[in-house]
Chains A and B, each alone.
Chain A
Amino acid sequence: MAPVPMPLRNPGFLPRHAFQALFDALHRRGWRVLGPAVGERVVHFAELASAADLQSGLGDVQSPGRYRLGLSDGPRWFDWTVGPDGLKPLVFPPREVLWRAAPAADGRLHFTAEPPDAPRLAVLGARACDLAGLALLDRHFLGDVAFDPGYAARRAALFLIGVDCNRSGATCFCASTGDGPALADGYDLGLAELDDGFLAWPGTAAGEAVVADLPLTEASPTHLGAAAEATRGAAAAQRRALPSRRLASALYGAMHHDRWAAVAARCLGCGNCAMVCPTCFCHGHCTEDGAGAGEAIQVREWDTCFDPAHSRLHGASVRDGVAVRYRQWVTHKLAGWHAQFGRSGCVGCGRCVTWCPAAIDLTAEVAAIVGETGDD
């Protein structure tokens, strides 16, 4: 998935002072706009009423086990790298009611599907890694094996406005997985931010209709050159990498490596890495009391392979320690996904490194287990 070369993007230029036109075009089509905002001391997506809600100078500083907001005096709105949330919660909510059950007068059980809550949302600031992650979730939830109607409804109601990353955080490694920092695919409308405005180009027919409503001027060679140089610079600044993009046989050949026990000595088994991962999809089903008399609801909630109950069978856990649970997380994502989805499940966003309370670095652990080259 190579980035779309700049001439093929054929972008126009949207001056910063005219950015409200994008909000207007989206609102006219019935999309609420989610964009970058500060909440709980991170950059996350929240509803923005207008371009005036965009905060200039918003940024962050990330390292293993550490995230801090950073504010600068600059004019830019998208100098942050990924916060903990990304796109996953928008299509695959942490908690969702699947169906309700209640007994009828004759004793039969009556089951009713819960209609999915699928608001029309435009996401302003989707990153290349997260779009790659969303494409993987699409393969999982919309595939022949496991089609999910709720996911499908929420996904169809999304309009995705991608923004090239001009900056990499210290935990970013999307260049090595081939998923960023420039937008490649999966967006309706692409943007590249410059000091005085944006390059804007459509990625889908829906995006073309929105672009047609924007007061674009011709992009100058200077604009095009600056945007290309910015993503090249962001890629070159990355200091972490996955040693290989095809790790399946190397990892399956290292199931008994000493490193699994070594990482287990540091890993808390908390599952933070899976919660913030844009592609982790494990979920559990549980039954709860509903509001009506005798009513029960079947709820689906995020789960992780770090929970001992995840592999419970006949009262015991198949994966009975942190070492084999961490190994499951890594081997599924980097090895099992190749057979299941045709590629690695890692898009290089670096969230698992930033949000690990023990500062465990996936790229370092994988390098220690398979060596530097893998089986590329």
Chain B
Amino acid sequence: MTRPDLPRSARVDQRVVESPTIFTLRLAFDDAASDAPCAFVPGQFNMVWLPGVGEVALSIVSDPADEHFFDHTVRRVGRVTTGLDRLRPGDRVGVRGPFGHGWPLARAEGNDLLLLTGGLGCACVVSVIRYVLRRRQRFGRLVILQGVRHAEDLIWRPQYEAWGRAPGTQVLLAADAATRDWHGAHGVVVDLLDRVRLDPRRTIAMLCGPELMLIAAIAVLRGRGLPDDALWLSLERNMQCGHGRCGHCQIGPLRVCTDGPVFSYAAVADHLGVHGV
């Protein structure tokens, strides 16, 4: 990239309320006719600029085959995400990206996939689920384990139910605090691994969520015989430039925006879970 990295104007095509604090924006580039629409690999992220307010890094949750739009699912937390929540169809944002390395989907072909996520960590693997289900014959079993703190935090409940009915797909959900209508497990997501059949020779695990959850899940998966090069995780840090230049997203010598956000376990093992890294 030798030119300045300018955002591209994108239009809000749809807005879907997922929960009281979570929403999805479906975006389409205004210049899509003249340029590549939105080529990305599941697991990559965009920097989305809210006019007059600022930029935020957001995972792409749609399938890359959807050429004319792309989706971002957002939790309202700070200044920019609160402003994004006020957007309505027809409003505009600026988008830079996609950035970083996505999930190793080419490597995963022909293998079973285990997706284990906590909280809104599911956003960065939802694109993988959509990708696999559209190309079902290329992959083996698909196991989806999702944990939330409170049952009402689970978004996409109908989606999970639909995914669970797809061929060769197993969906297990866990909530630390269950509600009366909760049909999933009561507890932490890592415990769901006890209920899953894994073939360690042909399983690729993709993990995303709080680092303590990642560490616990990796310990179980290694105990079940998965080799380190079958363990992949998506990490989060403050992101501002997307080019490995601004210094905010470092974990030890790694830059999450360019070396990640998806890492092989071996690449991050030394730095994972060290307080303040």
Contacts and interface: CB of A to CB of B under 8 A. Distances in A.
Interface in B245-262: 245-248, 250, 252-253, 255, 258
Nearest to B241: A285
A108 B2 contact: no
A44 interface: no
A99 B250 contact: no
Contact of B51 (A101, A149, A319, A335): A101
Contacts of A320: 276
B77 A314 contact: yes
Interface residues of A, number: 59
Interface in B201-255: 236-238, 240-241, 243-248, 250, 252-253, 255
Interface string A323-338: 1110110011001111
Interface stretch (A171-179, A197-205, A305-313): A305-313
B162 interface: no
Contacts of B275: 324
Contact of B4 (A107, A113, A314): A113
A285 B54 CA distance: 8
Contacts of B1: 147
The main secondary structure of chain A at its interface with chain B is mixed
The main secondary structure of chain B at its interface with chain A is loop
A284 interface: yes
Contacts of B274: 255
A208 interface: no
* Size bracket, chain B contacts: 35 or more
A337 B193 CA distance: 38
Interface of B: 1-4, 6-9, 11, 30, 49, 51-55, 77-78, 90, 92-94, 236-238, 240-241, 243-248, 250, 252-253, 255, 258, 270, 274-277
Given A146-B244, A282-B247, A109 B51 contact: yes
A110 interface: yes
Contacts, number: 139
A245 to B, nearest CB: 17
Interface in A324-376: 324-325, 327-328, 331-332, 335-340
Contacts of A311: 237-238, 248
Max chain A Cβ within 10 angstroms of own Cβ: one of B7, B77, B245, B275: B245
A303 B246 contact: yes
Nearest to A289: B52
Contact of A99 (B4, B53, B93): B4
A310 B239 CA distance: 10
A321 interface: yes
B92 A324 contact: no
A328 B276 contact: yes
A1 interface: no
B4 A149 contact: yes
B276 A321 contact: yes
Given A149-B4, A252-B252, A315-B77, A110 B9 contact: yes
Given A252-B270, A282-B248, A321-B276, 16 more contacts: A101-B49, A111-B9, A111-B94, A113-B6, A141-B245, A149-B3, A150-B4, A152-B2, A255-B277, A281-B245, A286-B54, A296-B52, A298-B55, A303-B248, A315-B77, A328-B250
Contacts of A114: 4
Nearest to A99: B6
A229 interface: no
B256 to A, nearest CB: 10
Contacts of A340: 253, 255
Given A101-B7, A109-B94, A284 B276 contact: no
